[in-house]
Structure 1
Amino acid sequence: MMAGGACAAVHASRRARLTAQMQPGAVAVLSTAPEVIRNGDSDYPYRHDSYFYYLTGFTEPESVLVLVAALGERPARAVLFCREKNIEREIWDGFRYGPEAARSAFGFDEAYPIGELDARMADLLADAPALYYALGHGASLDAQVSGWLKAVRARARTGVSAPSTTHHLLALLDEMRLLKDEHEAALMARAGLISGQAHLRAMRATRPGMFEYEIEAELLHEFRRNGAQFPAYTPIVASGPNACVLHYNANNRRVLDDELVLIDAGCEFDGYAGDITRTYPANGTFSAPQRTLYELVLRAQEAALAAIKPGNPYSAIHDAAVRVLTEGMFDLGLLDRQKAGSLDDAIAARAYTQFYMHGTGHWLGMDVHDVGAYRDVSLAEKPSRSLLAGMALTVEPGIYVRPAEGVPERFWHIGIRIEDDVLVTHDGCRILTASAPKGVAEIETLMQETR
C-alpha cells in the first residue's frame, strides 16, 4: 500500500467531506484496529480498521484520528496520533513512520505520539459543541471517551464546556463508503482481476484425487504472486457434498472423480476485497444433472444482473434470481406444483428456501460484507433502497440439494453457486470479475486443455 501523492489527496478529500457533514466546531475521533495475539510470541497478521484506513490510508497499529470541523474563520483540522519513531523497535518489527513523517506523507495538519492522546484530547474537546465517535465500536475507546469528557467537565469553573451531544460517527461513514469513487473502483477492479486469475489457476490445477487444501494453495499462490496482501476471507474449497454447506472452510476432503468443486474465494488488494464463487467439475466434464442445475443457476444470475441499474430497488436483484430458480425447481421436480401452488404462491411461501436459502448478494468494498443500509430507513415503510451509480455488490445465486424425501436422487449432494462482483454504472453495471470463466463450454474447454 503506497502512501503520499495522489492517494494522500484521496484520503484528505474524504476527511473534508466528512467534516463538512459535522456540526461546526465538532470533534470526531476514530481509532484503528488493535493487534491481536495468536499464541505465544506471535500475533495474527495485522489488518487495519477499514473506517480508519478509509479516512487516512495509514496502516500502522496504535493510531487514532481526530477531526475538528471548521467553525467560522477557523478551518477544519486533521490530527493523527501514532507510534513514535523508534529505531530499536524497527530492528525487530520493521519500519514505522513516527508523527512527523506520517503528517507529511499522509497530509495531516498535525501529528503527535500516541502516548499524548489522553492529555491532548481535553484541549481538543474543550468548548466543542458535539463529539462524533464510533459508539460501541470498541470498549477501550468507549472508556477513553468517558475519561476525556470527565477531564473537560472538571474544567467547568474556568469557563470551559464539554460537548453537549454525541453522534454515531459510523452512520455518516457508512453512507460515504457505500458509493465508490474512481480510486476505489480501480482498486476493486484490480482485486477482481487477481481473484479471477486465481480461480482460473485453480480450475487448471484441479484433478480428481487431490485434497481441497491443495486447490486452496493454488488460490493463495496466485493472490500473493500478483501483489494482493491477504485473502479477503477464509477461502471455501468445497467438493461433492461439502458444496451444500454454505460456510464450509475445513478444506480437507479428497476430491472424487465425478464431483463438482465449489470455490468461494477472493483476495484483498490495497484494502479492497474481491469475492468470487465458481463451481466446476473435478474431471473437467459436467454430468447431465450437474449441467442442468448449473445452467439454471447461471440463468438466475443473468436475470439478477439484468435487474441492476440506477433507480431499481436493491431487492429487485434477489427477486429476479428467485423467480428463475423457483420456476426451474418446478421444472426439475425439486418442488411439487400441486403442493406449492402457482409460481407466485411458491415464492410468497418461500418454498425455494429448501434449496436456495441465502440472499443473492451483498455490498462489497473494504469489507467483504461491506457497510451501508439495504433499506431506506428515512421512510416509515423502510423499502429497499434504490441503486445508485458507484455502489458495488456481489451477485451470487445458488442451489444446494441435500438428500430428502421426494427430491430426485440424481441431484443429491450437488451444490452450485456462481458469484461475481459488480459496480453499478450510470446505465447498468460493470462486472469486475469477468476474468473467471463461468460458461459451461468455457469451463470444460479450459479444463480439458490441461488434462
Structure 2
Amino acid sequence: MAALIGFLIPLLAQAQQAPTYPVFENDKLPISLYKQRREAIESQLGASGAAILFTNPERNRTNDTDFRFRADSNFLYLTGFEEPDAVLVLAPGGIDIDGRRVREVLLVNESNPTSETWLGYRMGSQGVMSLLGVELALPNRRLGDVLEALGKTPGLKLARPLVPPDPSGLVATMSNSVNEWRKGLASNDLNVNSALAKMRVIKSPEEIVLLRKAAEASVMGHLEAMRSVQPGMREYEIQALVEYVFARNGCESVAYNSIVGSGPNSTILHYEADRRLMEKGDIVCMDVAGEYHGYAADVTRSFPVSGKFSPEQKAIYEIVLAAQDAGIAACKAGAPFSSAHVAAAKILGDGLLKLGVITDRNQLGRYFMHGTSHYVGLDVHDAHGDNTLREGAELTVEPGIYIKAGSPCDKKWWNIGVRIEDDILVTANGPVNLSAGAPRKVRDIEALMRQRGIGNIRLRK
C-alpha cells in the first residue's frame, strides 16, 4: 500500500499543477513562432536593452456591457495571448525573479473559481508558460517586482513602451506606473513599433494558412450573398447572412464592420448602417470579410440587386475590373508598393474619359478618392513596414468608382458605386489571389445570381 501511495502522490501533484485551460482548436500558430519573434526583437534591443508592451484593455460598450475583447495586434504577434490586462517585458540581458534568471516575463490576470464562474476561462500564469511557451509568467499585480528587477540591469536602455490608444482600467494604471518608473532612464534607439511593423509585413507559411482560411470563409459569404440578394430585402439581411457564413466557417469575428451599400449607399466608401430597403435597379457594393484566429481578410464585390447589370452599371464595372487586373499584375516581388495604384489609376482614368464621365484626367479624384492597396494581416489595414513588395507579403488591390447623385456628369451614371477588392499574396512566381473564389466577371456574377442561396430560405415562426 505504501508503495502504491508513493506512486500516486507525484501523479496527483502533477494533476493539480496541470493547466485547466481548455484548448478547443489545434490549428493556431505554433508557440515556437512566437518565441522566434520575441527573440528577434530581443536581438535588436541589445544586452542592456529592454522593452515593455501592453495589450488592450477591455472596452466598455454601454453601462455594464463590454465589447468582445480583441488583443492588441503587436502583443498578439509576440505572444499569442488573447486576454486583457497583460504586460510583456523583454530583457535580453536577463533579470532575476524568484530565484530564476529570465529574459521574458508575461504578466497576466490569474484565474480563480469566481472569475471562471462569471467570465469564463483564464489561462493564468501556469497556463501561459505551458501553453504559450513563455519563459516566465506572473500575476499582473507583480508588475512592480518585475520593474524593480529590471531596474538593476547595468546601463539599462529602455525602448519606448508600447501602449494601446486610450488605455483604461488596469492597463491605464499599469502603464502609468511604468511611465513613472522609467523617468530618468536612458532610452533605447530601437523603435519597437517600427521593428514589429517590418516583421509583420512578411508572413510565415503558418500565417499564410490562416490568411487563406480567412479569405476562403469570406469568399463563402460573398457567394451566398450573390445567390440570395433580391429586391425587397434590407441591407442588414445580407449583412446577417455573410456574418453567419463567416462564423460557420470558423471565424471568431468580422475583420471590420460589414459594408453592404445599395443604390446611393454604394457610393459611400465606409457605409456601415446597412438598413436600406434594396430596390430593383440598385447596385450593391459589399465590402465584408471575416477574421480567423486573429488574421483578417478584406474582400469587396459589387453586383446588381436584380441579378443583371444595367448597361451603365456594366460599363463602370468593366473599367474597375480592368483596373484591378492591372493592379494585381503589378504585385510582384521587388516592385514599389505603389505599383498597383499607379497601374489601376491609369485604367480608371482612361475608362472614365472614354465614357465622358470626366473630361480631364485630373478629375479622376472626384470619383476615385482612395488608395488601391494596403497590407493585410493581424489588422485589416495592417502594419505598413515596407514600401517595397516582398515575397510573403499580402496586400489588397481594390480600385473603385463612386458616382454620387448630383455629380457633374450625365444622370445615367448617378448612384453607381463599384469596388472590386481581393487579397493578393506576393510570391516568387507572381501574385496569387487568395479570394479568387468569389466571381469577378460580369457573366460569372450573373450566372451565380440565378441560383438560390440560404438567404432565400424563409425563417420559421
TM-score by length of 1: 0.88
| In structure 2, C-alpha distance between the alignment counterparts of 1:201 and 1:92, rounded to whole Å | 37
The residue aligned with 1:171 is 194
| In structure 2, C-alpha distance between the alignment counterparts of 1:164 and 1:352, rounded to whole Å | 46
Alpha carbons of structure 1 residues 165 and 388: separation in structure 2 relative to 1, 3 Å: closer
| In structure 1, C-alpha distance between the alignment counterparts of 2:80 and 2:423, rounded to whole Å | 23
| Post-superposition offset of 1:423 | 1.0
Q: Is 2:440 the partner of 1:438? A: yes
Q: Is 2:157 the partner of 1:130? A: yes
Q: Structure 1, residues 160-208: CA drift from partner, whole Å, max 9, x if none? A: xx54546432111111111111111111111000001001111111110
Letter paired with 2:394: A
Q: How many percent of aligned residue pairs carry the same amino acid?
A: 39
| Post-superposition offset of 1:149 | 2.5
| Post-superposition offset of 1:6 | 6.0
Match of 1:424 among 413, 423, 426: 426
The residue aligned with 1:299 is 322
The residue aligned with 1:16 is 39
| Post-superposition offset of 1:405 | 6.1
The residue aligned with 2:458 is none
- 2:160–2:188: 8 Å Cα contact kept in structure 1? no
The residue aligned with 2:140 is 114
Structure 1 range deviating more: 17-26 or 431-440: 17-26
Residues matched between the structures, number: 419
| Post-superposition offset of 1:12 | 1.0
Q: Is 2:182 the partner of 1:149? A: yes
- 1:4–1:106: 8 Å Cα contact kept in structure 2? no
User: In structure 1, the residue corresponding to 2:158 is in which secondary structure?
Assistant: strand
| In structure 2, C-alpha distance between the alignment counterparts of 1:78 and 1:7, rounded to whole Å | 18
Alpha carbons of structure 1 residues 186 and 83: separation in structure 2 relative to 1, 3 Å: same
Alpha carbons of structure 1 residues 136 and 228: separation in structure 2 relative to 1, 3 Å: closer
| Post-superposition offset of 1:10 | 1.3
Letter paired with 1:417: R
Alpha carbons of structure 1 residues 61 and 444: separation in structure 2 relative to 1, 3 Å: same
TM-score by length of 2: 0.86
| In structure 1, C-alpha distance between the alignment counterparts of 2:391 and 2:117, rounded to whole Å | 47
Letter paired with 1:148: W
The residue aligned with 1:369 is 381
Letter paired with 2:82: T
The residue aligned with 1:286 is 309
| In structure 1, C-alpha distance between the alignment counterparts of 2:110 and 2:348, rounded to whole Å | 57
| In structure 1, C-alpha distance between the alignment counterparts of 2:376 and 2:251, rounded to whole Å | 17
| In structure 1, C-alpha distance between the alignment counterparts of 2:256 and 2:268, rounded to whole Å | 16
The residue aligned with 2:255 is 232
User: In structure 1, the residue corresponding to 2:243 is in which secondary structure?
Assistant: helix
- 1:133–1:170: 8 Å Cα contact kept in structure 2? no
| Post-superposition offset of 1:4 | 10
| In structure 1, C-alpha distance between the alignment counterparts of 2:408 and 2:41, rounded to whole Å | 56
Q: Is 2:207 the partner of 1:180? A: no
Letter paired with 2:179: S
Structure 1 range deviating more: 27-36 or 129-138: 129-138
**Structure-to-structure mapping, 1:4-403, within 5 angstroms:** 7-70=30-93, 77-127=103-153, 129-134=156-161, 137-138=164-165, 140=172, 142-149=175-182, 162-165=185-188, 167-336=190-359, 340=360, 346=361, 350-373=362-385, 385-403=387-405
Alpha carbons of structure 1 residues 218 and 119: separation in structure 2 relative to 1, 3 Å: same
Letter paired with 2:134: F
Letter paired with 1:276: V
Letter paired with 1:218: L
| In structure 2, C-alpha distance between the alignment counterparts of 1:31 and 1:406, rounded to whole Å | 50
Q: Structure 1, residues 57-98: CA drift from partner, whole Å, max 9, x if none? A: 111111111111147xx9972211111121121011111121
Structure 1 range deviating more: 414-423 or 404-413: 404-413
| In structure 1, C-alpha distance between the alignment counterparts of 2:230 and 2:33, rounded to whole Å | 45
| Post-superposition offset of 1:351 | 2.0
| In structure 2, C-alpha distance between the alignment counterparts of 1:33 and 1:51, rounded to whole Å | 10
Structure 1 range deviating more: 6-15 or 198-207: 6-15
- 1:134–1:170: 8 Å Cα contact kept in structure 2? no
| In structure 1, C-alpha distance between the alignment counterparts of 2:28 and 2:280, rounded to whole Å | 52
| Post-superposition offset of 1:390 | 1.2
Alpha carbons of structure 1 residues 438 and 76: separation in structure 2 relative to 1, 3 Å: farther
Letter paired with 2:415: H
Structure 1 range deviating more: 118-127 or 223-232: 118-127
Which structure 1 segments of 5+ residues have no match?
A: 154-161, 341-345, 375-384
| Post-superposition offset of 1:427 | 2.7
| In structure 1, C-alpha distance between the alignment counterparts of 2:416 and 2:277, rounded to whole Å | 16
Which structure 2 segments of 5+ residues have no match?
A: 1-23, 95-99, 454-461
Letter paired with 1:30: L
Letter paired with 1:93: L
- 1:67–1:76: 8 Å Cα contact kept in structure 2? no
